[in-house]
């Protein structure tokens, strides 16, 4: 079993739809959870982080965390073609991101 698993892609949604990206993790001691976006040929950049159970919203993005189910998700509302990228879920047992364990990533394509 992988330490961090993301829903297998690629994921394709029409422009304006909601994109749902999922991630499960195996270490119950995990404290902090990060979503990064990586455009093709570029380095990852932070989208959101979450460490408390529940939802955290930032603009069109909502991160959801359920520690009991060891599950974290990212919802992208009103998806835009510019959201087309690979989304990486990262999990760490520390407060900060340093020694993060990454999932394989889910590639999202938003079609105009």
Residues that bind another protein (CB under 8 A): 4, 32, 34, 36, 42-46, 49, 51, 88, 90, 92, 94-105
Bridge partner residues of 34 (DSSP): 49, 90
Structure tokens at 13: 């949604």
Minimum CB separation from another protein for residue 69, in Å? 21
The Cα–Cα gap between 59 and 10 comes to: 24
Rg of the chain on CA atoms, in Å: 13
Nearer to another protein (CB atom), residue 98 or residue 112:
98
Query: Cβ distance 65 to 58 under 8 Å?
Result: no
Nearer to another protein (CB atom), residue 11 or residue 13:
11
Sign of CA dihedral 29, 35, 39, 45: negative
Minimum CB separation from another protein for residue 35, in Å? 10
Minimum CB separation from another protein for residue 24, in Å? 14
Minimum CB separation from another protein for residue 60, in Å? 19
Nearer to another protein (CB atom), residue 28 or residue 99:
99
């Amino acid at each position: 079993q992988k330490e961090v698993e993301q829903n297998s892609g690629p994921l394709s949604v029409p422009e304006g739809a909601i994109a749902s990206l999922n991630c499960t993790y195996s270490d119950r001691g995990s404290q902090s959870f990060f979503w990064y976006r990586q455009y093709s040929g570029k380095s990852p950049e932070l989208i959101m982080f979450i460490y408390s159970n529940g939802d955290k919203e930032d603009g069109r993005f909502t991160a959801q965390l359920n520690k009991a189910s060891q599950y974290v998700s990212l919802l992208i509302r009103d998806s835009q073609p510019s959201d087309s990228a690979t989304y990486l879920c990262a999990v760490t047992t520390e407060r900060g991101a340093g020694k993060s364990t990454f999932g394989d990533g889910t590639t999202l394509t938003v079609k105009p």
